Amino acid sequence: MEPIVSIIILLLFYFLTNKREKPYDIVITWVNLTGDINDYIELKYLLRSLNKHKVNYRNIYIVHREKDGKMFGYPTYLKEDNRLKFISHQSLGCQWEIGRACQIPYLFNKIPGLSKIFFHIEDDQFIMNKRVFDKLLLEYKNKQIKTTLINYSKYEEVLYSKVRYGGEQQWMFGQMNASKFFGMEKYSFDIHNIKLYDRDILDDMERLYPKIWNDSITLINPLPASPFRCNLWSLYSSYMMSVKGWKFLQLENNDDYMEIHTNGYSKKKEDEIKKGLEGIKKKLENSKADLLNLQGDGISGEYPKVPLVRKFIIDYLEKIFPDRTQWEK
């Protein structure tokens, strides 16, 4: 009987261990705004980074807009399988014309079969150390929320002086509106970093605050008229701190995450670009951050093209993430 008992114990241990190691899903937001798929290949390096660091997860959902002519659609350089799934905004009940980055997260709790705990990663973020997930899970267990709190006055005066309400202003107003709704003295800033959400809590918030959900998703009026138009991360983190009583933890730059933004490089001369890239190279070599965000001119398709920057970034990503995933065609 002893060998049988041992086998049963081992099988039980294996089952429980695997179940415990993969309790969560990963949601990645992706969009093709130019129609040229080669402008938006950063996603494959994000997937490579997950594989390289042997991140344990159940499923990956890539949320995208349905194809419209040459634009949008899913990343055709990837193929689905039982763990990588393409989900369009429209399949989740989206009725608005364009899914902006601040709107799409309000659809996450509509993804069929999504795990209770899930992570949101944007397509220009890359995993540099697996511990980024472990730290977020531990903070969740300890009822802590890691974010950055900023004084309203830092941006508010500038934003309200703008006549035209563009994407940048929409993004900032949404953060301030969210934290003001819960009476926060400072607002929770939506930094380009991986985020942990509890789907059950999102369901509760949608039920408790339907006006916020409706106004934030629809964006019918391009002006910031509604104080209920909110950024989801700012809303969620403010709710967790002010209503649920979770403890605030400071998100640390160059430890938790590092941002490399090349905004304005399209206006620089060639020698200035090369000098800037030398500085970026040193930052990347010295970084010990858990997560890397790359964004700006020459990097993402929604920004102006800068061939020198593009080559530098792709060469760097190929160097640190050389191994293809099972999803690459």
Distance between CA atoms of 136 and 139, rounded to whole angstroms? 5
Measured torsion, CA atoms of residues 222, 224, 225, 227, in degrees rounded to the nearest 10: 130
Q: Over the stretch 268-314, which tens digit does the pLDDT of each residue have?
A: 999 999 999 999 999 999 999 999 999 999 998 889 999 999 999 99
Q: What pLDDT is recorded for position 254?
A: 78
Backbone phi and psi for residue 184, each to the nearest 5 degrees, phi listed first: -70, 140
Which bin fits 317, alpha (ψ -120 to 50), beta or left (φ > 0)? Answer: alpha
In this structure, of 19-23, 62-66, 274-278, 301-305, the range with the lowest mean pLDDT score is: 19-23
Q: What percent of the chain has pLDDT over 70?
A: 82
Q: What pLDDT is recorded for position 156?
A: 62
Q: What pLDDT is recorded for position 308?
A: 97
The first and second tokens of residue 218, run together, are: 């629809």
Walk me through the domains of the chain, giving residue ranges and CATH numbers. 24-320 (3.90.550.10)
Task: Indicate if the pLDDT at residue 148 is higher than 80.
Answer: yes
Q: What pLDDT is recorded for position 4?
A: 60
Q: Over the stretch 176-228, which tens digit does the pLDDT of each residue have?
A: 889 999 999 999 999 889 999 999 999 999 999 998 888 887 755 444 556 67
Nearest-10 crossing angle of helices 167-181, 232-242: 20
